[in-house]
Amino acid sequence: MKKAGNLNKGGDIPICCNSCGKSLKVENGILKEDAFEATKEWGYFSKRDMEIHHFNLCEECYDKMIGSFIIPVEVRKKLEAL
């Protein structure tokens, strides 16, 4: 389970997939549907220095995104569920 982010503490404010706008299930601030969450703090060597970007993608949109990669994502299997 993942925390849904600081803005949603205690609330049931839906988190949306940034790509398709579908809302992801949140109960008590906990994301109940697995989704791809990305946070990137851009640094000095980028044009976005000092910016923090964050977005969520539902599993479908994640599949579409990685489907457009020339080099596939590295996939490792977990030996045991945590």
Q: Rule CB under 5 A: which residues touch Zn ion?
A: 17, 19-20, 22, 58, 61
- Least distance (Å) between residue 10 CB and Zn ion: 25
Structure tokens at 53: 């970007």
**20 vs 30, which CB is nearer to Zn ion?**
20
Given a contact cutoff of 8 angstroms between Cβ atoms, the answer to whether 48 and 9 are in contact is no
**15 vs 58, which CB is nearer to Zn ion?**
58
Single-letter amino acid code for the residue at 23: S
Among 61, 14, 22, 9, CA closest to 38: 61
- Least distance (Å) between residue 29 CB and Zn ion: 21
